[in-house]
């Protein structure tokens, strides 16, 4: 055994030791974290400052773009009256149901289409037609068929979310590294085990890209749908406020939507990280 | 006793679609290959690029079937892939979402080793290739040489009788390559497996092989099998600069030389069409 070790000095040197990498001191780390945080909010702070001062200085018409503080005021009033919560709840319920349904349907379907050639040949032309039809162009059709209630709104979100997930899942399965497939074949893996041990895990990152795109789409499409015919929801709030000339309230609605979009995306990014932590860190 | 592996008049043709005429034509990768590999032997295959070395290995691995002739393993024709043969690929083929240990366990899972026994066994094989301490690293956190060692450990883990290696060290730097060659020889001697090893490097062929089979340019045939009488490599210091080593190297270089120029001529002709 000693002879073995002597012949491999390189390995012993490479052996990782936990305490070799010194972590920076606590004050240093706190300072670093603060600096990054400041850097991240700087751009937003500038935007808000311009928003606040431009109307006050008369650079833009304060009627159409009220100062930020006025909008915050309106937002607070909406929040305390419970209106904001109701509308946000209505919107979230719709977009999350549509999004969730899309994930539940499109991921398995995409795996099937990606793996089984006959399924792909059968459904391919259909997919081509539908993916190239803008979801919102179909909104009137959904309303005609499903009425202007919840069903048509969830349906349109579901429809719009399905495509990015489906297309990404299909290309994920088709893009599995062929050497890994050869490896699987060489150890005689087939059928379900091949799927479970190789194809599924290899597809996760690309599938998640689709899911993240769908997250953004779900909010985008929903707000548009709520502007057409709804009695609740953030899209409705924005549209109704503009109609009633409650401009600060309209901006309050817009801000809420952006905030929800950012949070939703962050949640999905965090989930993605959690599931793909094995990946080579890109650009960091 | 018959040989462990027998190629008997093996021909492999691929159907390719000609781009200009849009007709399907047949393309012969190897023609009439006859070759015996003894049990426990270390056989190296060399030949010009595109002469069909990987094709022969795929036939052995059961990943493709011969168009004519037979490939026998223990006297029986090979009908498909199996765990009695372990393949080590040039591109490592590690599962990037699994750790080093997880990748070795993949081999054990394929072989149906009970779950409880896998971690210990996997660690044992990682230790065998000199990677203890790296169990929890993902492939992207390992060097090329370490990745290839994980791949070797994975192939050893399900205890195949034959190891099939297609240019496994081609992508490595000279030092890593040499240390892995020694390591492979040591493992081979310890486990007594039959090894079929493909390389482009004449030095590597002479250093590793008990016999070196030189293939002709496409369609590949066995031109000559050169027995290498160098004895135990790891016992001798600086074997590579000894006169016998040089003689074997020159012999194989001579055999390859004509074939390589013929192969290059062929490639030019194909490109000109
Ligand atoms: N699936 C395939 N379909 C068509 N032609 C193929 C296929 N696989 C290999 N070939 C052809 O068969 C010939 C032999 O290929 P092979 O990969 O066995 O060569 P090789 O000796 O391993 O080459 P290299 O040393 O460059 O790896 C090549 O000309 C190649 O183009
Ligand atoms: Mg090859």
Residues B119 and B239 in one domain: no
Per-residue pLDDT of A240-281, as tens digits, reads 999 899 899 999 999 999 999 999 999 999 998 888 887 766
Does B171 reside within a domain? Answer: no
Cα gap B214→B255, rounded to integer Å: 7
Q: What is the mean pLDDT of chain A?
A: 85
Nearest to A185 among B63, B86, B186 (CB): B63
Q: Is B16 exposed, middle or buried (0-12, 13-18, 19+ CB in 10 A)?
A: exposed
Interface of chain B toward chain A, CB-CB under 8 angstroms: 61-63, 80-83, 85-87, 89, 91-93, 95-98, 106-107, 109-111, 130-134, 137-138, 140, 146, 158, 175, 179, 182-183, 186, 234
Per-residue pLDDT of B173-208, as tens digits, reads 888 888 889 989 998 998 899 999 999 999 999 999
Q: Is A282 exposed, middle or buried (0-12, 13-18, 19+ CB in 10 A)?
A: exposed
Query: What are the boundaries of each domain within chain A?
Result: 25-65, 66-275
- ipTM above threshold 0.90: no
Residue B266: band (very low, low, confident or very high) from pLDDT cuts 50, 70, 90: confident
Cα gap A35→A62, rounded to integer Å: 34
Listed in sequence order, the residues at least 6 apart from A248 whose beta carbon sits closer than 8 Å to its beta carbon are: A66, A70, A71, A73, A74
Strand B162-166 with B68-73, pairing: unpaired
Does B80 reside within a domain? Answer: no
Residues B59 and B192 in one domain: yes
Ligand 1 atom closest to the CA of B48, numbered from 1? 25
Handedness of CA B171, B174, B176, B180 (dihedral sign): positive
Residues B68 and B145 in one domain: no
Residue A36 Cα, gap to closest chain B Cα (Å): 27
CB pairs under 8 A between A and B: 75
- Residues of chain B contacting residue A180, judged by C-beta atoms under 8 Å apart: 93, 95
What angle, 0 to 180 degrees and rounded to 10, lies between the N-to-C axes of helices A200-228 and A139-146?
Answer: 80
Q: Which of B14, B59, B61 maximizes ligand 1 atoms within 8 Å of its Cβ, making it the mutation to test the pocket?
A: B14
Ligand 1 pocket, CB under 6 A: B 14, 16, 27, 29, 47, 49-55, 218
pLDDT value for A284: 40
Q: Is residue B22's pLDDT more than 80?
A: no
Q: Which of B159, B193, B214 finishes a domain?
A: B159
Residue A281 Cα, gap to closest chain B Cα (Å): 9
Percentage of chain B exceeding pLDDT 70: 99
Cα gap A26→B176, rounded to integer Å: 40
Strand B5-17 with B68-73, pairing: antiparallel
Does B196 reside within a domain? Answer: yes
Cβ proximity of A197 and B109 under 8 Å? yes
Cβ proximity of B152 and B168 under 8 Å? yes
Residues B228 and B255 in one domain: yes
Q: Which of B129, B159, B189 finishes a domain?
A: B159
Residue A18: band (very low, low, confident or very high) from pLDDT cuts 50, 70, 90: very low
Residues B67 and B100 in one domain: no
Residue A198 Cα, gap to closest chain B Cα (Å): 8
- Report the greatest alpha carbon distance in chain B: 59
Residues B71 and B184 in one domain: yes
DSSP alpha helices (H): ranges in A82-116? 83-115
Per-residue pLDDT of A79-134, as tens digits, reads 999 999 999 999 999 999 999 999 999 999 999 999 888 888 888 888 888 888 88
Residues B187 and B268 in one domain: yes
Per-residue pLDDT of B133-147, as tens digits, reads 999 999 999 988 899
pLDDT value for A9: 37
Mean pLDDT on A137-161: 88
Q: Is residue B116's pLDDT more than 90?
A: yes
Cβ proximity of B251 and B214 under 8 Å? no
pLDDT value for A74: 93
Mean pLDDT on A188-211: 91
Q: Which of B159, B186, B207 finishes a domain?
A: B159
Listing DSSP states for B210-250 in one string gives SEEEEEPSSSB-EEEEEE-----GGGSTTGGGSHHHHHHHH
Residue A282: band (very low, low, confident or very high) from pLDDT cuts 50, 70, 90: low
Alpha carbon of A276 to ligand 1 centroid (Å): 35
Residues B66 and B185 in one domain: yes
pLDDT value for B27: 86
Does B258 reside within a domain? Answer: yes
- Residues of chain A contacting residue B91, judged by C-beta atoms under 8 Å apart: 179
Q: What is the mean pLDDT of chain B?
A: 89
Mean pLDDT on B1-20: 85
pLDDT value for B272: 67
Does B132 reside within a domain? Answer: yes
Tell me whether residues A180 and B95 touch, CB distance under 8 A: yes
pLDDT value for B217: 87
CATH topology of domain A66-275: MetI-like fold (1.10.3720)
The CATH number of residue B260's host domain is 3.40.50.300
Cα gap B90→A179, rounded to integer Å: 9
Whose CA is closest to B86, among B7, B187, B176? B187
Tell me whether residues B96 and A187 touch, CB distance under 8 A: no
Residue nearest to atom 30 of ligand 1 (CA): B50
CB atoms inside a 10 Å sphere around CB B202: 20
Domains identified in chain B, total number: 2
Range of the domain at B118: 85-159
pLDDT value for A283: 45
pLDDT value for A280: 66
Residues in chain A: 284
Cβ proximity of B209 and B44 under 8 Å? yes
Does B30 reside within a domain? Answer: yes
Does B168 reside within a domain? Answer: no
With CA atoms as reference, the chain A residue closest to B137 would be: A278
């Amino acid at each position: 055994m000693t002879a073995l070790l002597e012949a491999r000095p390189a390995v012993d040197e490479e052996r990782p030791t936990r305490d070799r990498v010194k972590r920076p001191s606590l004050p240093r780390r706190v300072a670093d974290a603060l600096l990054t945080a400041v850097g991240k909010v700087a751009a937003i702070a500038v935007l808000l400052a311009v928003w606040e001062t431009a109307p006050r200085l008369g650079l833009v018409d304060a009627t159409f773009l009220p100062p930020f503080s006025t909008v915050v005021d309106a937002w607070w009033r909406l929040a305390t009256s419970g209106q904001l919560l109701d509308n946000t709840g209505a919107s979230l319920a719709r977009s999350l149901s549509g999004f969730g349904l899309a994930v539940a349907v499109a991921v398995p379907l995409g795996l099937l289409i990606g793996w089984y050639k006959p399924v792909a040949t059968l459904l391919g032309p259909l997919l081509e037609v539908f993916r190239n039809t803008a979801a919102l162009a179909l909104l009137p059709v959904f309303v005609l068929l499903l009425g202007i209630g919840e069903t048509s709104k969830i349906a349109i979100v579901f429809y719009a979310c399905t495509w990015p997930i489906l297309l990404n899942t299909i290309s994920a399965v088709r893009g599995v590294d062929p050497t890994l497939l050869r490896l699987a074949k060489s150890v005689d893996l087939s059928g379900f085990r091949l799927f479970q041990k190789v194809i599924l895990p290899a597809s996760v990152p690309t599938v998640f890209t689709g899911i993240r795109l769908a997250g953004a789409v779900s909010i985008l499409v929903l707000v548009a749908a709520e502007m057409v015919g709804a009695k609740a929801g953030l899209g409705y709030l924005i549209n109704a406020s503009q109609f009633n000339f409650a401009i600060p309230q309209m901006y309050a609605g817009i801000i809420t939507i952006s905030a929800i979009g950012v949070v939703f995306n962050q949640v999905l990014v965090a989930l993605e990280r959690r599931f793909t932590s094995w990946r080579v860190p890109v650009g960091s | 006793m018959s040989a462990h592996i027998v190629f008997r008049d093996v021909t492999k043709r691929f159907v390719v679609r000609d781009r200009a005429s849009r007709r399907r034509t047949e393309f012969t990768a190897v023609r009439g290959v006859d070759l015996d590999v003894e049990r426990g032997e270390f056989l190296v295959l060399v030949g010009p690029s595109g002469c069909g070395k990987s094709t022969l290995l795929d036939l052995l691995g059961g990943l493709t079937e011969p168009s004519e002739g037979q490939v026998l393993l223990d006297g029986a024709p090979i009908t498909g892939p199996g765990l009695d043969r372990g393949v080590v690929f040039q591109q490592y083929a590690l599962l990037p979402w699994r750790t080093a240990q997880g990748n070795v366990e993949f081999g054990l899972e394929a072989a149906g080793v009970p779950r409880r026994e896998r971690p210990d066994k996997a660690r044992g094989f990682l230790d065998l290739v000199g990677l203890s301490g790296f169990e929890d690293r993902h492939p992207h956190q390992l060097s090329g040489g370490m990745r290839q060692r994980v791949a070797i450990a994975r192939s050893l883990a399900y205890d195949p009788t034959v190891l099939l290696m297609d240019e496994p060290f081609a992508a490595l730097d000279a030092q890593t390559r040499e240390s892995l060659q020694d390591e492979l020889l040591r493992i081979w001697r310890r486990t007594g497996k039959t090894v079929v090893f493909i390389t482009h490097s004449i030095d590597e062929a002479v250093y590793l092989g008990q016999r070196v089979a030189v293939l002709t340019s496409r369609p590949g045939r066995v031109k000559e099998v050169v027995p290498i009488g160098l004895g135990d490599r790891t016992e001798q210091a600086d074997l590579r600069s000894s006169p016998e080593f040089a003689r074997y190297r020159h012999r194989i270089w001579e055999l390859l030389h004509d074939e390589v120029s013929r192969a290059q001529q062929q490639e030019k002709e194909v490109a000109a069409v």
